Amino acid sequence: MSIGLILAIFAGAGVFIFFLGLSMMRRAAGGADDFQARLAAYGVGDVGGTAPAAPHGFRETLAGLFQPAADRIGKGDAKKGKPSLAEKLLKADLKLRTSEFVMIQFGLVVLLGLIGLLRFGLGIQFLLLAVLGYFIPGFYLKYRISQRLRAFNAQLGDTLTLLANALKAGYSFAQAIDTVSKNAVPPISDEFGRAVREMNLGGSVDEALHNMVRRIDSSDFDLVVTAVAIHRTVGGNLAEILDNIAYTIRERIRIKGEISTLTAQARASGTLITFLPIVLGVFMYFVTPAYFKPMTENFIGWAMLAFAAFMIFIGNLIIRRVVAIEV
């Protein structure tokens, strides 16, 4: 068997595993039928009936192969405040098992590594592309978490007003949370819906709210939960407290929006200055590797590349510090 055929087989396997993981992610985010199928996969049946046997198809078998690796990689550190992989997926609202996420990582490592191997041969480029394939899903996961947190904070002011109005109408706090889960929009409706389900399963209001703080990690919502906890201890007008917090949060969001508008040009310039030479250099090196040979065959060339990367980093750092205005 030739080396080219072996590489083709491995490339095909990497592409297959990568897109199989993406397919799992799309199906996991599907409708009620797929949700029932996932419940069946975990051995959860209808109430009053017999739990169906978990299917052992090809997908389940392949995901099971990556489960030991997911258990080792996805461990968090509670003492240092590092969440586990499962908690990160929950924060990002990615309906994936940890084994499926590791499967996507492995498939991307194989895919990009083989692209580097076929394009540049067995060298540093092959290793760099393989390492990049490992970190890309993690970067996307952090991006999803940050975007979801931003959307949650943007909706929090109106949500607190809805909570306060429900309390003024005579609802209990638990009923007001249920009202938010039914009338708000994602992601805040999803989080309040989880809190309602936790309370329906026997959890207290305080436990449900603290679990939301751990999932969302929002300083504004942490303030709300602290105010609710103090109110449940000493009493007071909770609706008025929520109205005051909602006003503060809305004003902060308004001021942040004005600052973002005034610093948009500087932030765009910083992003352009940082990524334009990097993207252009990577593209040219991938298309015509011989173009960079004078830079990569002697020490002076490597020193110049390192100095250029350092200056790009310093420039980006200065611009970020200038436009970073705390509110």
Give residue-wise pLDDT tens across range 171-194: 888 888 988 888 888 888 888 999
- Please indicate whether residue 219 or residue 43 has the higher confidence score (pLDDT): 219
- Looking at residue 136, its pLDDT comes to 92
Mean pLDDT of 160-170: 90
Mean pLDDT of 196-204: 88
Confidence of residue 24 (pLDDT cuts 50, 70, 90): low
- Do 238 and 167 contact (CB within 8 A), yes or no? yes
Cα separation of 85 and 74, whole Å? 4
Q: So where are the chain's domains?
A: 3-122, 151-251, 263-323
- Do 100 and 24 contact (CB within 8 A), yes or no? yes
Confidence of residue 32 (pLDDT cuts 50, 70, 90): very low
Cα separation of 20 and 26, whole Å? 10
Looking at every residue in the chain, the average pLDDT score rounds to: 79
Cα separation of 293 and 290, whole Å? 5
Query: Is the pLDDT assigned to residue 309 strictly greater than 50?
Result: yes
HEC per residue, the chain: CCHHHHHHHHHHHHHHHHHHHHHHHHHHCCCHHHHHHHHHHCCCCCCCCCCCCCCCCHHHHHHHHHHHHHHHHCCCECCCCECCHHHHHHHHCCCCCHHHHHHHHHHHHHHHHHHHHHHHCCCHHHHHHHHHHHHHHHHHHHHHHHHHHHHHHHHHHHHHHHHHHHHHCCCCHHHHHHHHHHHCCCCHHHHHHHHHHHHHCCCCHHHHHHHHHHHHCCHHHHHHHHHHHHHHHHCCCHHHHHHHHHHHHHHHHHHHHHHHHHCHHHHHHHHHHHHHHHHHHHHHHHHCHHHHHHHHCCHHHHHHHHHHHHHHHHHHHHHHHHHCCCC
Q: What is the pLDDT of residues 52-104, one digit of tens each?
A: 444 456 667 766 777 777 777 777 655 666 778 888 888 888 888 888 888 88
Model's pTM, two decimal places? Answer: 0.71
Structure tokens at 178: 């249920």
CATH topology of domain 151-251: Receptor-associated Protein (1.20.81)
Cα separation of 205 and 243, whole Å? 20
Cα separation of 40 and 51, whole Å? 7
- Do 221 and 212 contact (CB within 8 A), yes or no? yes
Q: What is the pLDDT of residues 130-151, one digit of tens each?
A: 889 889 998 999 999 999 998 9
